[in-house]
Amino acid sequence: MSRYPAQVRLIDVGPRDGLQNEKSPVPAEVKIGLVHRLQQAGLKEIEVTSHVSPKWVPQMADNHEVMSGIERQPGVRYSVLTPNLKGYEASLADRPDEVVVFGSASEAFSQKNINCSIAESIERFAPVVEAARARGIAVRGAMSCTVGCPYEGEVAPERVAYLAGLLKGIGVQRVDVADTIGVGTPLKVQRAVEATLQHFALDDVSGHFHDTYGQALSNTLAALQMGVWNFQSSVAGLGGCPYAKGATGNVATEDVVYLLHGLGIDTGIDLDRLIDAGAYVSNFLGRKPNSRVATAVLNKRAG
């Protein structure tokens, strides 16, 4: 029998990654309400917003209003995405606990997503990492397309190791192994994690899986078997990737929590409260949660 971690820490990316591509504006008060409900459910890490140009991501134009409107709880880490030094400097007024930079293991995806090469993206992030760490702000690196790319197809583990090495080299403290388009299978995910472990300690690696092909929970289990105990997910399965055609949302936090609790792994999360948080934002968006667990529980409640 595989030995799993005794506890798992989840980062809910719903308020940022989940909502950023919504076509209709989501008011700051709804985003704040979602963050409050997530922390009440027991989430200790929440990716709240991003400091990017509103021209490119209009949904995140209210970043300051959202961050300043949150009633912070002790012991909860609030992170924001900062793609460049300008974004980082804009975030300082909101006192983020952690800033997130991002790079792709695929050259083609890097060009399509942020209009520069992988190496150029690292040069862009280096001053952000240096400035943040000088202020005592934690830095996380999101590694996209670690198993597959919508433009290049399969991504070799060597490309993942290359990106991880570059991020480590500029001072990034922990990284996410992200299956951005949801094409990963357990073996491919394990190889991507192994490649990352060439540069980062196990405690500093997290899994971020999309469910396009229905493999996200299987991939979570595969990473757990390697000892990975940090994962990212999105309440109600919110989100997708605007540069990855056909990619469905992040794996639902509710489904991951149900899996973990079924394995006897402690998350510190109240599943019923988490389902309520997902229902809250889904009701505003006018659709049902993209979570099988949430759907089953809500149907049962309705009788």
Q: Are 89 and 83 in contact (CB under 8 A)?
A: no
Could you tell me which residues come within 8 angstroms of residue 157 by beta carbon, excluding any fewer than 6 positions away? 191, 192, 194, 195
- Both tokens of 94, joined, read 């909101």
Phi first, then psi: what are they for 2, rounded to 5°? -70, 145
Spot the catalytic one: 116, 145, 149, 241.
Answer: 241
Q: Is 145 a catalytic residue?
A: no
Positions marked active-site: 241
